[in-house]
């Protein structure tokens, strides 16, 4: 059995189990009635400050969140690369520098676009 078939069987078993669990929960799980007390926002036992405690988040935070995810994922890929770069060859060093150059370019873009300064104003 090839590794691809093993992976597909494993993936289908995971998806099947999750689907079965969600279906059984929908069929057999409790169905509480939505009362006005249940729909009221809860703030750690305190009286709610606003009627609806939902405020719009300014759009400037979206760019910061995307930049954070970008650098977080790139850091994770660098950790994975260091674990998989055995034995270290010339091609592996080239891919490291290419990836690091892309990381620096993204960092320069964030700096030039002043994305982080927009949040502190």
Q: Domain spans of the chain?
A: 3-120
- In this predicted structure, the answer to whether residue 14 has a pLDDT above a threshold of 90 is yes
Within 10 A of 112 (CB to CB), how many other CB atoms are there? 8
pLDDT tens string 40-88 = 766 666 666 666 656 777 787 888 888 899 889 888 888 888 888 788 8
pTM: 0.49
CA angle centred on 110, ends 107 and 112, rounded to 5°: 105
Mean pLDDT value across residues 87-104: 89
pLDDT classification of 38: cutoffs 50, 70, 90:
confident
Mean pLDDT value across residues 6-33: 93
> DSSP letters along 12-63, please?
HHHHHHHHHHHHHHHHHS------HHHHS--BTTBPPSSSS---PPPTHHHH
Topology (CATH level 3) of domain 3-120:
Methane Monooxygenase Hydroxylase; Chain G, domain 1 (1.20.58)
């Amino acid at each position: 059995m090839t590794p691809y078939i093993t992976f597909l069987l494993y993936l289908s078993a995971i998806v099947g189990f999750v689907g079965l669990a969600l279906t059984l929960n929908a069929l057999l799980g409790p169905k509480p009635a939505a009362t006005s007390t249940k729909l009221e926002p809860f703030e750690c036992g305190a009286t709610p400050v606003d009627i609806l405690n939902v405020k719009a988040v300014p759009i400037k935070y979206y760019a910061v969140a995307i930049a954070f995810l970008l650098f977080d994922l790139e850091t994770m890929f660098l950790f994975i690369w260091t674990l998989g770069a055995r034995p270290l060859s010339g091609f592996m060093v080239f891919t490291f520098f290419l990836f690091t150059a892309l990381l620096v370019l993204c960092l320069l873009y964030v700096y030039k676009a002043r994305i982080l300064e927009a949040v502190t104003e």
